[in-house]
Amino acid sequence: MTITAPIRWGIIGPGAIAKDFRRGVLDSKLGKLEAIATRNPGKESLRTDFPEARILDGYDAILRDPDVDAIYIATPHTGHAEWAIKAAEAGKHVLIEKPMALSAFEVDAIIHAAKKAGTFAGEAFMYRLHPQTQKLWELINSGTIGEVRFVSASFGFQMGRFIPEHRIFASDLAGGGILDVGGYPVSFARFVAGAASGKPFLDPIKVVGSATLNAEGTDNLAAAVLLFDNGITAQVSCAIMANLENVGRIIGSEGTIEVPAFWFANGDRAGGDGKIDIIRKDGSRETVSVGKQRHLYSFEADAVAEAILAGRQEFAAPGMTWADSLGNARVLDKWRSDAGIEYSVEKSVKRINTISGRPLQAGGSVIPKRTIPGVQKPASAVALGFEDFRTFASGAILLDAFFERGGNIFDTAFIYAGGYTEKLFGEWQKSRGVREQAVVIGKGAHSPLVYPDVIAKQLTQSLDRLQTDYVDVYFMHRDNLDVPVGEFVDAMDAEVRKGRIRGPFGGSNWTRERFDEAIAYADKHGKQRPGALSNNFALAEMLDPIWAGCVTASTDEWKQWLKARQIPNFSWSSQARGFFTDRAGRDKRDNEEMVRVWYNDRNFTRRDRAIELAEKLGKSPIHVALAYVLAQDFPSIPLIGPRTLHELDDSLHAFDIKLTPEQVQWLEG
């Protein structure tokens, strides 16, 4: 649908910030206020506060309204991701009041939804679009105060008293200063560091944060130090129980720049003069001003309109681009992690729905199901590994998405993140009620504890963390050739007889010889045979173990063995850890692991052919590489480890490719 000016705005949530934005729209050049959505449409003050707008009953109503082009989301922080995603799915452009979401993972989910929908999504840091901000960038970049060395920025105010249920304090509403106002000094510091390097922003290489917490576990006062790779150090602070200096200060080799109330452009919402104070080394002062401007919020309303009319999906700098918003959110994540803040609304007892606020849905078909020998349930064609997540809220985003696309094999291990990912999965499957639909891989006995008596002990702990009484598939994570293989078979067979392993067991990083020996022992002594393997398998052969004790199954001999025995292999590093992306290349040798593990002529020939075939198919080489693992003539189940929704959906394009046996042979060369 073609959209023309003026952009017709709707607002979700009629609070104080919505009133400010309404005045900004009225003062904008390209927008008009069309409607406001509220859960209390009978409230009389709405007619006074938003006289131009139609009052809609419920937030969903504005998503269906054909006369609304763009939506400003002014709910409490906890509603930002949900309604931004729902708006994108409804084809609406969105401007989200800061913070864009509770975490960088949620910000990424919003961006992913906007990309898929082809809609605009932006974070409403209004000061970044005021002319003062562009002037500040020019002063810094031109060397007005010489080489920038230190930045300090604060935003703090004094609430009268602690009110646990108030939005500012409540953990259920993601209260505290870091999310409410801490994003301003962080964005300011990153903006200044970027200007000093001629860039729109710069992400810090190190963040160290702290905070004073209240009885809700949210922050009353907080401070952090940011270190940038251009040598700049920044000190940022925020508070909801103290009036801070509230100045952005930039110290250079030849002077200092000060910007009082930088988030208000040195004025107020109605429009400041955009004054910037320059203090020279000799103590003399100069004030630079961009002059009286229109309403502060009008600039962001017009910047959104300009982007929409130009067909862009994100702000242009100095507005908060997607990369800028993600970088800001990552700093805030680290800050509150250092301070020990996890909001109650992020925990499994409260986060029972998906990121879009809906119950988890089964029946997805993007990932096809298959039968795996020994596994009693229909199983997805790929398995999900998720050892990189450190909070329930972040991990649940990917777990939900994988399940809703049809995935149901989950790769866990006793050793991953010291057991945290097992705990995360346990909380997830319990809160979603999907244990009997899930195929859970458990792994134990990793180096150096590769002994038979470890298996039962670690499995007991794993089952407790996973909140279940069995795993569907079990692997020893490593092998110990000093121990007779029969002792390992006996230990795993005992767990099968107890019902704690209900499907195949076997080894991860086991040799063919050892596996055959284990099968022979089991047959001779009436034990369950080992029935599954988890070795590396990819289109590129692993030349040198990635980690000590790793074994590849990508050689010709391995493939003949797997085909003859029809042993299911759950393949880790199935896409060769980036070898089929532009991170690799004959002339790219800066990644020591990549060079050591994958670089030889045969692998590069396979990479060349994957690139050639991908171009013919309109896909990427990594899709061809994953399709190759899926196309084997033995049960081959790739383990994939996406960190974001985009990486997940991108990997699944491999299912669009059905390689013929001839294509498989050609890829192998």
Cα dist. 436→410, 432, 433, 468, 568 in Å?
A: 13, 11, 8, 10, 21
Residue 42 has pLDDT above 90, yes or no: no
pLDDT at residue 134, rounded to an integer: 95
Instruction: Report domain 7-125's class.
Output: alpha beta
Hey, how many other C-beta atoms are within 10 angstroms of the C-beta on 451? 15
Task: Specify the residue for token string 């705005």.
Answer: 9
pLDDT in tens, 443-463: 999 999 999 999 999 999 999
Cα→Cα distances 648→102, 199, 265, Å: 21, 30, 41
Per-residue pLDDT band at 353 (split at 50, 70, 90) = very high
How far apart CA 510 and CA 265 sit, in angstroms, is 64
**pTM of the full structure:** 0.95
Work out the mean pLDDT of the chain and round it to a whole number. Answer: 96
Average pLDDT for 334-362: 97
Instruction: Kindly indicate the confidence band of residue 1, based on its pLDDT and cuts at 50, 70 and 90.
Output: low
| Tens of pLDDT, residues 194-231 | 999 999 999 999 999 999 999 999 999 999 999 999 99
Q: What is the pLDDT of residue 271?
A: 63
Cβ(36)–Cβ(14) below 8 Å: yes
Distances (CA, A) of 170 to 103, 147, 331, 656: 17, 42, 22, 46
CA distances from residue 438 to 287, 378, 380, 413 in whole angstroms, order as listed: 64, 9, 10, 15
Each residue's pLDDT tens digit, 231-284: 999 999 999 999 999 999 999 999 999 999 999 886 666 666 789 999 999 999
Report the SS3 class of residue 54. strand
What pLDDT does residue 266 have?
Answer: 67
pLDDT at 270: 64
- For residue 44, pLDDT over 90 is answered with no
Q: What confidence score (pLDDT) does residue 2 get?
A: 80
Q: Quick: pLDDT tens for 613-667.
A: 999 999 999 999 999 999 999 999 999 999 999 999 999 999 999 999 999 999 9
Please write the tens of the pLDDT for every residue from 145-162: 999 999 999 999 999 999
- Residue 431 and residue 206: Cα distance in Å, rounded? 35
For residue 274, what pLDDT is reported? 86
The average pLDDT across 323-327 equals 98
Phi, psi of 183 (to 5 degrees): -65, -25
Q: How far is CA 35 from CA 22, 95, 97, 299, 334, in A?
A: 10, 15, 17, 20, 37
% of the chain exceeding 90 in pLDDT? 94
pLDDT score, position 269: 64
Average pLDDT of the residues in 532-546: 96
Do the beta carbons of residue 466 and residue 442 sit within 8 Å? yes
- For the chain, what is the radius of gyration of the CA atoms? 28
Alpha-carbon 354 to chain mean position: 14
Q: Does domain 128-291+320-345 have CATH number 3.30.930.10?
A: no
State mean pLDDT over 378-386. Answer: 96
Supply the pLDDT for residue 267.
64
Q: Where are the domains of the chain?
A: 7-125, 128-291+320-345, 381-401+408-533, 535-551+571-669
Give the pLDDT of residue 152: 98
What CATH number has the domain spanning 381-401+408-533? Answer: 3.20.20.100
| Torsion angle (degrees, nearest 10) of CA 391, 392, 396, 397 | -40
**How large is the average pLDDT for residues 528-542?**
97
Q: Residue 583: its pLDDT value, please?
A: 94
Residue 527 DSSP label: P
- What is the DSSP track for 419-435? GHHHHHHHHHHHHHT-G
pLDDT digits (tens, 9 = 90+) for 463-522: 999 999 999 999 999 999 999 999 999 999 999 999 999 999 999 999 999 999 999 999
Angle at 296 between CA 152 and CA 290, to 5 degrees: 70
